[in-house]
Amino acid sequence: MNNNKKIRVGILFGGRSAEHEISLLSAKNVVDALNKEKYDIYLIGIDKEGEWHLRDAYQYLLHADNAKLVRLHGSQGTVALIPKKQGKEIVKYSGKELQNPLQLDVIFPVLHGTYGEDGTVQGLLKLANIPFVGASVLGSAVGMDKDVMKRLMRDANLPIAKFIVADQVRMAKLDFAEVIRELGLPLFVKPANLGSSVGISKVKTQKDLLPACEEAFRYDRKIIIEEFIAGREMECSVMGNEHPVASVLGEVIAHDEFYSYDAKYMENGSDFIIPPNVDAKISLKMRELAINTYQALCCEGLARIDFFLKNNGDVIVNEINTIPGFTNTSMYPKLWEASGVSKPELMDQLIQFAIERHRKEKSLKTTF
């Protein structure tokens, strides 16, 4: 790549997900943080029907200050990715001849939830032979599926909460009294493949368990029923490929009963303490656990790892988020800023991790 030229970055955001609106807010902050002297930025907004549109850089969102009302605005035409032999990717306007193709050097997916964070888009970008920010296909898929994620963490001897998995077939055979005997009350019910606390219920009585499961099944074909952990909620940001590094810790104090959608994304929904008042040995342990979790789950580029810190000092790994939020209330960039990495510097590093990984993958043999 010619270092004298700007890097052409495609920001991929929106998508067919219950987290569509959060993706829009995250994308805005990523765009704002990118150094315009280093990067030419192209906005590719995916609508809720799954169509890809090139967006006007000056007017691509409506109600951008509201996590519930924000939506995509305007389009310069639908686009498609066309693989090219020499490793540059073309974004093509559909319905037009390929005369002046737009070549991108890297894509920054800012897609939360299904069809964006689960390995689907990552597989498309790998087939299209274009570098992209964040975990690859396997790490993305594993990080999205809480069932597989927790089984891999358990096999890696990482401390996790007790859980039960159910699909529609297993649900019909589930003994709710036995579930409560095993996990206790209260407990949480979650869709296995979703984030941003969408579809999550805190269950306090046995009669509330079936409605909570039905709510989770609205968003996924597989659900997680999980032990409630009483403790402080801690988060740690990680970035890197072969040699990941961890940020300082942050503590989330939700104003809601748990860290719900509103607590995460509404202004004043939560308080954040960075760094938290935690013993230095426990802080070091959690940062090491963050890196161990990141590597056990085959993650690359970036991720946020969430923990519970119990009153007795025990640490429980809750989950990984392979495309963490970049909204005004999101912890991932806040933790790096507290660690001395500004938002523009963070964007630079994440893009370089993507380009370096792609270069190494390109050096591998694909034929005998």
CATH of the domain at 271: 3.30.470.20
In a domain, 146, yes or no: no
Q: Which of 83, 110, 132 is the last residue of a domain?
A: 132
Q: What is the pLDDT of residue 151?
A: 97
Q: Which of 188, 208, 227 is the last residue of a domain?
A: 227
Q: What is the pLDDT of residue 18?
A: 82
In a domain, 268, yes or no: yes
Q: What span, in angstroms and rounded, lies between the C-alpha atoms of 319 and 345?
A: 26
In terms of Cα–Cα distance, which of 167, 122, 113, 171 is closest to 144? 113
In a domain, 43, yes or no: yes
Task: Write the CATH number for 188.
Answer: 3.30.1490.20
208, 103: one domain: no
Q: Which of 227, 255, 277 is the last residue of a domain?
A: 227
Task: Write the CATH number for 78.
Answer: 3.40.50.20
Q: What span, in angstroms and rounded, lies between the C-alpha atoms of 254 and 19?
A: 19
In a domain, 149, yes or no: no
Question: What is the sign of the dihedral through the CA atoms of 118, 124, 129 and 132?
Answer: negative
343, 257: one domain: yes
255, 347: one domain: yes
Tens of pLDDT, residues 318-358 = 999 999 999 888 999 999 999 999 999 999 999 999 999 99
178, 258: one domain: no
Q: What span, in angstroms and rounded, lies between the C-alpha atoms of 110 and 10?
A: 10
In a domain, 168, yes or no: yes
16, 43: one domain: yes
Q: What is the pLDDT of residue 66?
A: 77
Could you tell me the two tokens for 333?
A: 């960039």
221, 234: one domain: no
168, 273: one domain: no
Q: What is the pLDDT of residue 260?
A: 47
277, 341: one domain: yes
Give the chain's domain count.
Answer: 3
In a domain, 17, yes or no: yes
Q: What is the pLDDT of residue 98?
A: 46
In a domain, 74, yes or no: yes
In a domain, 350, yes or no: yes
Distance, C-alpha 221 to centroid of its chain: 20
pTM of the model: 0.90
Domain extent, residue 181, equals 162-227
91, 167: one domain: no
346, 237: one domain: yes
239, 216: one domain: no
Q: What span, in angstroms and rounded, lies between the C-alpha atoms of 6 and 19?
A: 31
Q: What is the pLDDT of residue 100?
A: 58
Could you give phi then psi for residue 8, rounded to 5 degrees? -90, 110
Q: What span, in angstroms and rounded, lies between the C-alpha atoms of 55 and 41?
A: 11
pLDDT along the chain (368 residues), means of 10: 78 91 94 96 92 81 81 81 62 53 89 92 92 97 96 98 94 93 96 79 95 94 96 97 98 71 57 95 97 98 98 96 92 97 98 97 85
115, 63: one domain: yes
